[in-house]
Amino acid sequence: MSGLRWGILATGGIAHAFASDLRTAGLDLVAVGSRSQASADAFAAEFDVARAHGSYEDLAADPDVDIVYVSTPHPMHADNARLVLEAGKHALVEKPFTLNRGEADSLRELAASRGLLVMEAMWTRYLPHMVRVREIIESGALGEIRAVFADHTQRLPLDPGHRINAMSLGGGALLDLGIYPISFVWDILGAPETVQAAARLGETGADAEVATVMTHAGGAVSTTISSSRAAGPNTAHVVGTEARIDIDRVWYTPTSFTVTGPDGTVIERYESHVDGRGMQFQAIAAEHFVSEGLLQGRELPLDESVAIMGTLDDIRRQIGLTYPGED
């Protein structure tokens, strides 16, 4: 392991979860940066972080930081990651990677020119149960994959200023919730050949519900449903000709799954045992990639993160969702 020294950019809820899991895993969290010194100081005190910076610029300039976790809202990801990369540091950027594919392409080019790792913090990809799901699929035990379907549905606040509803913060079910099942579909079936989307826009113009139907190589199909207004089962399923995988609630967090044959026989039952939320696995992976000199991860290559942003752009075009400042 490379033993990287971590910094965290921004101090919101997801930053707290990530910091807790870094501590759980014994990784080296040395600095935090916020837009205010008071917020940085409070975060540093909570997680015993040595240095608290009152600006993102000061965090990026910290010579004792090797890699930065960018945890700001979606529209700020590209600028914040660019700040980190231009300071010569690796970056782990909260999902979705950026607001659109154009921004993702720009970050990919910058990271390559600087010889730095930048990766999307789609932490689900790195969880132990997902590693096992991919092993089972790669073994051929499911036969030919014919369908994948997953939902990410939550009942979130209706406040127009809440990040899930505020257009200025990249609000909407698609980028905040739908990124999970869409990335999962990409992981299992690869790039979609066709994409069809439907949505209901909420009062602020952000999407409250969005559904997709996609076709993939060999004629396989996928469906996803995401909602910020209603809590559904939050399960995922991979259906093959010889068996299926049913991932339990909540499928995108550490959980269990069952492999079942066509006749109902249980072939395998997997139970998850993870300390904390499970965000540490992506951080551990990032450290391994840097130590190996890799500029792209294995579980979620940068090129795939960029391409997924293209799929999200396509869905947004179909449902009429454009954010402030976009052409």
Does 57 reside within a domain? Answer: yes
Picking from 248, 283, 264, 300, the residue whose alpha carbon sits closest to that of residue 96 is 300
Domain with 223 in it:
128-273+309-319
Does 255 reside within a domain? Answer: yes
- What band does 107 get if pLDDT is binned at 50, 70 and 90? very high
Predicted local distance difference test score (pLDDT) of residue 127: 98
Examine the domain organization and report whether 38 and 108 are in the same domain.
yes
DSSP per position, 88-150: T-EEEEESSSSSSHHHHHHHHHHHHHHT--EEEE-GGGGSHHHHHHHHHHHHTTT-SEEEEEE
Does 297 reside within a domain? Answer: no
The count of other CB atoms within 10 Å of the CB of residue 282 is 25
Examine the domain organization and report whether 174 and 243 are in the same domain.
yes
Examine the domain organization and report whether 220 and 315 are in the same domain.
yes
Does 302 reside within a domain? Answer: no
Predicted local distance difference test score (pLDDT) of residue 215: 98
Work out the angle at residue 121's Cα, subtended by the Cα atoms of residues 118 and 127, and round it to the nearest 5 degrees.
125
Does 101 reside within a domain? Answer: yes
Which of 95, 108, 125, 129 does the annotation list as catalytic? Answer: 95
For 109-154, how does the pLDDT look when each residue is reduced to its tens digit (9 = 90+)?
999 999 999 999 999 999 999 999 999 999 999 999 999 999 999 9
Average pLDDT value for residue range 4-28: 97
Does 219 reside within a domain? Answer: yes
The count of other CB atoms within 10 Å of the CB of residue 6 is 24
Average pLDDT value for residue range 259-287: 97
Q: Is 89 a catalytic residue?
A: no
Predicted local distance difference test score (pLDDT) of residue 225: 98
Examine the domain organization and report whether 177 and 83 are in the same domain.
no
- Distance between CA atoms of residues 317 and 198, nearest Å: 11
pLDDT at 49 over 60: yes
Tokens of 199: 């949505």
Examine the domain organization and report whether 88 and 51 are in the same domain.
yes
Picking from 65, 102, 103, 100, the residue whose alpha carbon sits closest to that of residue 82 is 103
* Bond before 238 cis per omega within 30 degrees: no
Examine the domain organization and report whether 184 and 229 are in the same domain.
yes
Examine the domain organization and report whether 40 and 136 are in the same domain.
no
Examine the domain organization and report whether 11 and 142 are in the same domain.
no
In CATH, what number is assigned to the domain containing residue 177?
Answer: 3.30.360.10
Count of domains in the chain?
A: 2
Sign of the torsion formed by the C-alpha atoms of 286, 287, 288 and 291: positive
Does 304 reside within a domain? Answer: no
In CATH, what number is assigned to the domain containing residue 86?
Answer: 3.40.50.720
Average pLDDT value for residue range 18-32: 97
Predicted local distance difference test score (pLDDT) of residue 77: 98
Average pLDDT value for residue range 30-57: 98
Average pLDDT value for residue range 154-159: 97
Does 300 reside within a domain? Answer: no
Examine the domain organization and report whether 60 and 43 are in the same domain.
yes
What mean pLDDT is reported for the chain?
Answer: 97
> pLDDT above 90 covers what percent of the chain?
98
- What band does 1 get if pLDDT is binned at 50, 70 and 90? very low
pLDDT at 2 over 60: no
Examine the domain organization and report whether 142 and 224 are in the same domain.
yes
Examine the domain organization and report whether 84 and 148 are in the same domain.
no
Examine the domain organization and report whether 119 and 132 are in the same domain.
no
